[in-house]
Structure 1
Amino acid sequence: MDVEILSRIQFAFTIAFHYIYPPLSIGLGLCMVFMEGMYLRTGDVLYEDMTKFFTRIFALIFGIGVATGIVMEFEFGTNWAVYSKYVGDVFGSALAAEGIFAFALESGFLGVLLFGWNRVSKRVHFIATIMVTLGSMFSAIWIVVANSWQQTPAGYHIVGQGLEARAEITDFWAMVFNPSSVDRILHVWIGAFLAGSFLVISIAAYYIIKNRHMAFAKKAFGIGLTVALLSSYAQLFAGHRSAHVVAEYQPAKLAAMEGHFDSSSAAAMYLFGYIDTKNERTHGVAVPGALSFLTHFSFDAPVTGLKAFKPEDRPQALNIVFQSYHIMIAIGFALIALTTVGYILFRKKKLFEKRWLMHVFAWSVLLPQVANQVGWFTAETGRQPWVVYGLLRTSDALSEAVTANQVVFSLVLFTFVYTLLFALFIFLLNRKIQHGPGFKDSDDESEIHSPQLEGMAGNFSR
Structure 2
Amino acid sequence: MNALEITDIARWQFGIITVYHFLFVPLTIGLSAIVALMQTIWLKTKNDDWLRLTKFIGKLFLINIAMGVVTGIVQEFQFGMNWSTYSRFVGDIFGAPLAVEALLAFFLESTFIGLWIFGWDRVPRKIHVTFIWLVHIGTLASSWFILAANSWMQHPVGYRFNEERGRAELTDFWAVMFNKVQLGTFPHVIAASYMTAAVFLVAVCGFLYGKRATEAASLREAESVTVNGRDRDMYARGIRLGAVIAVVGFLGVAISGDVQGKIMTDVQPMKMAAAEALWDTSDSCAPFSIFTIGTPDGSAKRWSLEVPCVLSFLATGDPQAKVQGINDLQAQYEQQFGPGNYKPIIPVTYWSFRWMMGLGVAGVAGAVLLAWMTRKRRTPTWPWYNWIVVLAPLWALLGNGVGWVFTEMGRQPWVVFGLMQTADAASPNVSTTEAWISITALALLYAVLAVIEVGLLLRFIRKGADAYVEPPDLTWKDIKSDDDQPLTFAY
Residue 297 (structure 1) shift: 4.3
Q: Which residue among 210, 215, 226 is the counterpart of 2:233?
A: 215
Is this contact kept in 1: 2:85–2:424, CA < 8 A?
A: yes
- In structure 2, what is the equivalent of residue 8 of structure 1? 11
Q: Relative to structure 1, is the Cα distance of residues 357 and 112 closer, same or farther in structure 2, using a 3 angstrom cutoff? A: farther
Answer yes or no: is the 8 Å Cα contact 2:27–2:64 preserved in 1: yes
Cα 1:344–1:139 shift into 2, 3 Å: same
Match of 1:444 in 2: none
State yes or no: 1:280 paired with 2:299. yes
Whether 1:254 aligns to 2:272 is yes
Q: Quick check: 2:151–2:179 contact (8 Å CA) kept in 1?
A: yes
> Which residue of 435, 438, 444 maps to 1:416?
444
Shift of 1:183: 0.9
- Name the counterpart of 2:454: 426
Pair 1:354–1:269, CA change in 2 (3 A): farther
Question: Which residue matches 1:401?
Answer: 429
Aligned positions of 1:144-159 closer than 5 A: 144-159=147-162
Contact 2:272–2:315 at 8 Å: present in 1 too?
no
In the alignment, which of 48, 55, 58 is matched to residue 52 of structure 1?
55
Structure 1 counterpart of 2:262: 244
Q: Is this contact kept in 2: 1:275–1:319, CA < 8 A?
A: no
Deviation at 1:302, TM superposition (A): 2.2
- Specify the alignment match of 2:473 in structure 1: none
- For the pair 1:203 / 2:214, whether they are aligned, the reply is no
In structure 2, distance between residues paired with 1:458 and 1:297: 53
Q: Secondary structure at the match of 2:376?
A: coil
The CA distance in 2 between the partners of 1:67 and 1:297, in whole Å, is 41
Provide closer, same or farther for how the CA distance between residues 433 and 457 of structure 1 changes in structure 2, counting only shifts above 3 A. Answer: farther
Residue 386 of structure 2 is aligned to residue 385 of structure 1 = no
Amino acid at match of 2:414: W
1:288 Cα deviation (Å)? Answer: 2.4
**1:165 counterpart residue number:** 166
What is the distance in 2 between the residues matched to 1:349 and 1:355? 16
Question: Aligned residue for 2:102?
Answer: 99
Report how far residue 371 of structure 1 moved: 0.7
Q: Could you say what secondary structure the match of 2:120 adopts?
A: coil
Rounded Cα–Cα distance in structure 1 between residues aligned with 2:191 and 2:112: 23
CA distance in 2, matches of 1:337, 1:56: 26
Tell whether 2:161 aligns with 1:141. no
1:293 is aligned to: 313
What is the CA-CA distance between 1:314 and the residue it aligns to?
A: 2.8
Tell me whether 282-291 or 178-187 shows the greater mean CA deviation. 282-291
Consecutive unaligned residues of structure 1, counting only runs of 5 or more, are: 442-454
**Are the structure 2 counterparts of residues 250 and 45 from structure 1 closer, same or farther at C-alpha, using a change threshold of 3 Å?**
same
Decide whether aligned partners of structure 1 residues 204 and 230 sit closer, same or farther in structure 2, where only a CA change above 3 A counts. Answer: same
Q: In the aligned structure 1, how far is the partner of 2:487 from the partner of 2:362?
A: 37
CA distance in structure 1 between the aligned counterparts of 2:490 and 2:412, rounded to whole angstroms: 47
Question: For residues 294 and 134 of structure 2, what CA distance do their matches in structure 1 show?
Answer: 46
**Hey, what does 2:334 align to over in structure 1?**
none
The answer on 1:28 being equivalent to 2:48 is: no
Please name the residue that 2:336 is paired with.
none
Q: Among the aligned pairs, what percent are the same residue?
A: 30
Give the conservation status (yes or no) of the 8 Å contact 1:274–1:319.
no
Structure 1 vs Structure 2 CA RMSD: 2.2
The match for 2:361 is 333
Larger deviation, residues 316-325 vs 206-215 = 206-215
Q: Counterpart of 2:289?
A: 270
Relative distance call for 1:111 and 1:48 in structure 2 (3 A) is same
Which residue of the other structure, out of 109, 132, 146, is the alignment partner of 1:129?
Answer: 132
For residues 294 and 67 of structure 1, do their structure 2 counterparts lie closer, same or farther at Cα, with a shift above 3 Å needed?
closer
Distance 1:384 1:403 in 2: 23
Distance 1:264 1:434 in 2: 54
Match of 1:370 among 371, 377, 398: 398
- Letter aligned with residue 208 of structure 2: Y
- 1:208 Cα deviation (Å)? 1.3
Long gaps (5+) in structure 2: 213-227, 332-339, 470-485
Q: Which has the larger radius of gyration?
A: 2
Shift of 1:457: 4.6
Q: What's the CA shift for 1:278?
A: 5.6
Distance across 2 between alignment mates of 1:181 and 1:225: 28
Distance 1:46 1:251, change over 3 A: same
Give TM-score, length-normalised by structure 1: 0.91
- Amino acid in the other structure paired with 2:38: M
Provide Cα deviations, 1:396-417, integer angstroms capped at 9, x if missing partner.
1111101222111111100111
For 1:182, the aligned partner's letter is: L
What is the aligned partner in structure 2 of residue 310 from structure 1?
Answer: 330
Do the aligned partners of 1:352 and 1:358 also contact (CA within 8 Å) in 2? no
Question: Among residues 348, 368, 376, which one is paired with 1:349 in the alignment?
Answer: 376
Deviations 1:73-103 (A, max 9, x none): 2211121111001110111101011112210
Distance across 2 between alignment mates of 1:41 and 1:309: 57
Q: Structure 1 CA distance, aligned partners of 2:111 and 2:42? A: 23
CA contact (8 A) 1:274 1:322 kept: no
| Distance (whole Å) between structure 2 residues aligned to residue 279 and residue 92 of structure 1 | 38
Give me the whole-angstrom Cα distance separating, in 2, the residues matched to 1:303 and 1:277.
Answer: 24
What letter is aligned with 1:134?
Answer: I
Structure 1 residues 276 and 299 mapped into 2: Cα distance closer, same or farther (>3 Å)?
farther
TM-fit CA distance, 1:244: 0.7
- Alpha-carbon distance in structure 2 between the residues aligned to 1:57 and 1:208: 17
Q: Helix, strand or coil: the match of 1:309?
A: helix
* Of 65, 71, 80, the match for 2:83: 80
Q: CA deviation at 1:330?
A: 1.5
* Stretch moving more, 31-40 or 305-314: 305-314
The separation in 2 between residues aligned to 1:54 and 1:395, in whole angstroms, is 44
- Look up the equivalent residue of 2:267 and give its one-letter code: Y
1:17, CA displacement in angstroms? 0.9
Cα distance in 2 between the residues matched to 1:330 and 1:309: 28
